[in-house]
């Protein structure tokens, strides 16, 4: 089964993709994670993309297409995979199609901009081990300190409120048109965001019939 998660930044694509990945025993491919790892390792690609990522802008299509087409050829993808955060532009979607890759379902998590802004303003991450927290919905035991390794909790630079607004604008302009693209191909499945992670998962499982 080949699946895509579409949705605004902070919609919960990564969380739902991770849960589904374990249930279906297929990998999740997150271009955001691949790019962050490249930056952390200081690779030439990592250096090239740093300024785009920190400003919340999209990384150029050619680079993303190259990364993703190589990744889906790896052995662990032979039974299918879940794309999280990719494609994000029509050009990326067309490149996947041109490579003969088709998708069974494109799950589009529907959530309002205001809810995203409220959610992301509370998001925190451990600067050492990367463990995620949320000031309201998943607070650490001690404010500002990681439960796991006791290091400092910080806000990701691209979660700063101004950057979140810019990322939402980019989502509406460049990524949302993918809904029409996949609707035309008969694979778009809107997922109404639910009050809890579990309820959203239940809706996704119903759509997929699993
Ligand atoms: P994410 O973790 O999916 O929110 O991605 C974080 C950042 O990585 C985005 O704001 C972009 O700068 C970059 N990025 C991730 N995936 C893509 C993609 N498919 N196309 C372009 N840029 C991407």
CA of 58 to the centre of ligand 1 (A): 6
How high is the pLDDT of residue 10? 87
Higher-confidence residue of 40 and 170: namely 170
Contact residues for 169 (Cβ-Cβ < 8 A; gap 6+): none
Chain segment 13-54, per-residue pLDDT in tens: 988 999 999 999 999 999 998 998 999 899 998 999 999 988
The phi, psi pair for 203, rounded to 5°, reads: -65, -40
Give the integer Cα–Cα distance in Å for 121 and 142. Answer: 19
Tokens of 55: 């400003």
CA dihedral 36, 52, 63, 168 (to 10 degrees): 90
Which residues line the pocket of ligand 1, CB cutoff 6 A? Answer: 9, 31-32, 35, 52-53, 56-59, 64, 85-88, 92, 158, 167
Q: Whose CA is nearest to atom 5 of ligand 1?
A: 32
Chain segment 67-102, per-residue pLDDT in tens: 999 999 999 999 999 999 999 999 999 999 999 999
- Give the pLDDT mean for 124-135: 87
Q: pLDDT exceeding 70 applies to what percent of the chain?
A: 100
pLDDT of 121 higher than 90: no
How high is the pLDDT of residue 35? 94
pLDDT of 118 higher than 90: no
Chain segment 182-204, per-residue pLDDT in tens: 999 999 999 998 888 899 999 99
pLDDT of 162 higher than 90: no
CA distances from 205 to 20, 114, 146, 208 (A): 8, 26, 32, 5
pLDDT of 161 higher than 90: no
């Amino acid at each position: 089964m080949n699946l895509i998660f579409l949705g605004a930044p902070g919609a919960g694509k990564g969380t739902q993709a991770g849960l589904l990945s374990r249930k279906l025993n297929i990998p999740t491919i997150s271009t955001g994670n691949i790019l962050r790892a490249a930056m952390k390792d200081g690779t030439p690609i990592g250096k090239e993309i740093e300024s785009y990522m920190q400003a919340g802008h999209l990384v150029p299509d050619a680079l993303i297409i190259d990364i993703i087409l190589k990744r889906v050829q790896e052995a662990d993808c032979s039974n299918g995979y879940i794309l999280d955060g990719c494609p994000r532009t029509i050009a990326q979607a067309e490149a996947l199609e041109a490579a003969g890759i088709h998708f069974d379902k494109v799950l589009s998590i529907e959530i309002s901009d205001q809810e995203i802004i409220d959610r992301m303003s509370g998001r925190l991450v451990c600067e050492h081990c990367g463990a995620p927290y949320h000031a309201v919905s998943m607070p650490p035991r001690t404010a500002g300190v990681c439960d796991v390794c006791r290091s400092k909790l910080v806000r990701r630079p691209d979660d700063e409120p101004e950057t979140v607004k810019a990322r939402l604008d980019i989502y509406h302009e460049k990524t949302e048109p993918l809904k029409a693209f996949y609707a035309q191909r008969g694979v778009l499945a809107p997922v109404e965001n639910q009050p809890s992670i579990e309820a959203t998962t239940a809706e996704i499982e119903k759509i997929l019939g699993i």
